[in-house]
């Protein structure tokens, strides 16, 4: 349920409305917009069915929310959310590009990659210090040493860092280094992890699970937001189907569906969607045309030596070409790109 307040509602009236709702065992979240302020009531709405909420001073309207996700619903916020990431803002007019290697392999390779992607307009550096791998014998990441390297490169280049957290025991450690916490596809429904990152006020990049529906993804976002962290960015990275031509099946239609269903920004990951270097550009063009607020691109100085995902990683020259060729698509979508 959402309570819409009157124009010019006072802080005292807001506090009274929240106290009244919370007295029935529900939680409240306030969103102050440019034109209106709304209060989301989260919990058993049946308890409010016979309560005359409209008679409370400051209340203009009461709207039921039929979707199972409340805080992530478009009904909750009349305006799209803008999530800060360094000097950029995901969800605004700029197409924000996050780029970097799948895994942090060392200081020199990460530093050279960061300088190269920054020169061509990337706004953040991605890199995994902890890596979830299908095989227990594959490279699992450098752990905290990788986080320290990420922090050193951020200090030298100014690029904020996006890195994955895999376990509730890692959350505080990763959050102490990262500017944005990534929840990978395999952990999208790790509900304890979602709750834990919800308690940390770091922005969260939430990747869609390999077999997850759009509703599953939004309910996962709801877990994070229910703990008081509204800074969630959704990521479409493809789903697993019977198709073998690509690593995953890129659900392009999910982008406009999400833009309609939620106020949260949506980023696309064409690298994981296609799984092949030559598919990254066309899938990126399609994602921008479909309304994506940003892109996540894997880039490596020498993909043939990459410890993970070398086949889908762009070379430096490939990334430069992509950023240049994206420009007409970005302009047609009514967006801008980082200088």
pLDDT at 134 (0 to 100): 63
Structural domains of the chain, ranges and CATH numbers in brackets? 2-64 (3.30.70.1140), 83-337 (3.20.20.70)
- pLDDT-based confidence at 65, cuts 50/70/90? confident
Residue 11, number of CB atoms within 10 A of its CB:
8
Q: What is the DSSP string of 127-180?
A: -BSS---SSTTS----THHHHHHHHHHHHHH---EEEE--SGGGHHHHHTT-SE
Q: In angstroms, what CA-CA distances link 238 with 169, 235, 249, 251, 291?
A: 28, 9, 5, 6, 16
Taking 70 as the threshold, does the pLDDT of residue 196 lie above it?
Answer: yes
Taking 90 as the threshold, does the pLDDT of residue 46 lie above it?
Answer: no
Taking 60 as the threshold, does the pLDDT of residue 29 lie above it?
Answer: yes
pLDDT at 258 (0 to 100): 97
DSSP 315: P
Q: Point out which residues pair with 267 in neighbouring strands.
A: 235, 294
Residues 61 and 92: their CA atoms lie apart, in Å, by 29
Q: Which two tokens stand for residue 325?
A: 């060729």
- pLDDT-based confidence at 257, cuts 50/70/90? very high
pLDDT at 338 (0 to 100): 79
Q: Note the pLDDT tens digit of each residue in 95-118.
A: 999 999 999 999 999 999 999 999
Q: Note the pLDDT tens digit of each residue in 114-140.
A: 999 999 999 999 999 986 666 665 656
Residue 192, number of CB atoms within 10 A of its CB:
10
pLDDT at 140 (0 to 100): 61
pLDDT at 70 (0 to 100): 87
DSSP 106: -
CB 175 within 8 A of CB 200: yes
CB 117 within 8 A of CB 317: no
Residues 28 and 246: their CA atoms lie apart, in Å, by 43
Residues 265 and 279: their CA atoms lie apart, in Å, by 23
pLDDT at 138 (0 to 100): 61
Q: What predicted TM-score, i.e. pTM, was given to this entire model?
A: 0.86
pLDDT at 137 (0 to 100): 57
Taking 80 as the threshold, does the pLDDT of residue 78 lie above it?
Answer: no
**Angle between helical axes of 316-332 and 277-290 (0-180°, round to 10):** 20
Residues 41 and 34: their CA atoms lie apart, in Å, by 20
pLDDT at 48 (0 to 100): 86
How, if at all, do strands 94-100 and 336-337 pair?
parallel
């Amino acid at each position: 349920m959402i309570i819409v307040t009157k124009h010019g509602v006072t802080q005292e009236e807001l506090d009274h409305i929240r106290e009244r709702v919370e007295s029935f065992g529900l939680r409240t979240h306030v969103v102050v917009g440019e034109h209106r302020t709304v209060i989301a009531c989260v919990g058993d709405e049946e308890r409010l069915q016979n309560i005359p909420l409209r008679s409370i001073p400051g209340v203009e309207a009461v709207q039921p929310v039929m979707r199972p996700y409340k805080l992530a619903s478009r009904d909750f916020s009349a305006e799209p959310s803008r999530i800060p990431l360094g000097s950029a803002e995901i969800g605004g007019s700029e197409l924000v590009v996050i780029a970097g290697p799948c895994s942090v392999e060392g200081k020199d390779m990460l530093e050279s990659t960061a300088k190269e992607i920054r020169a061509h307009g990337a706004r953040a550096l991605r890199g995994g210090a902890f890596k979830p791998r299908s095989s227990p014998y594959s490279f699992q990441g450098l752990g905290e040493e990788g986080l320290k390297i990420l922090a050193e490169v951020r200090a030298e280049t100014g690029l904020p860092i996006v890195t994955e957290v895999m376990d509730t025991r890692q959350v505080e450690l990763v959050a102490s280094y990262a500017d944005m916490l990534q929840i990978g596809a395999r952990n999208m429904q790790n509900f304890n992890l979602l709750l834990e990152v919800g308690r940390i006020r770091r922005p969260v990049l939430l990747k869609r699970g390999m077999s997850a529906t759009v509703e599953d993804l939004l309910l996962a976002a709801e877990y994070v937001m229910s703990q008081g962290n509204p800074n969630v960015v959704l990521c479409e990275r493809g789903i697993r189907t019977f198709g073998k031509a690509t690593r995953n099946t890129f659900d392009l239609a999910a982008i406009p569906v999400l833009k309609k269903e939620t106020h949260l920004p949506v980023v696309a990951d064409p690298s994981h969607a296609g799984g092949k270097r030559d598919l990254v550009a066309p899938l990126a063009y399609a994602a921008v045309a479909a309304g994506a607020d940003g892109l996540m691109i894997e880039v490596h100085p020498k993909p043939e030596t990459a410890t993970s995902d070398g086949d889908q990683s762009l070379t430096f020259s490939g990334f430069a070409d992509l950023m240049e060729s994206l420009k007409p698509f970005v302009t047609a979508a009514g967006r801008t790109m980082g200088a």
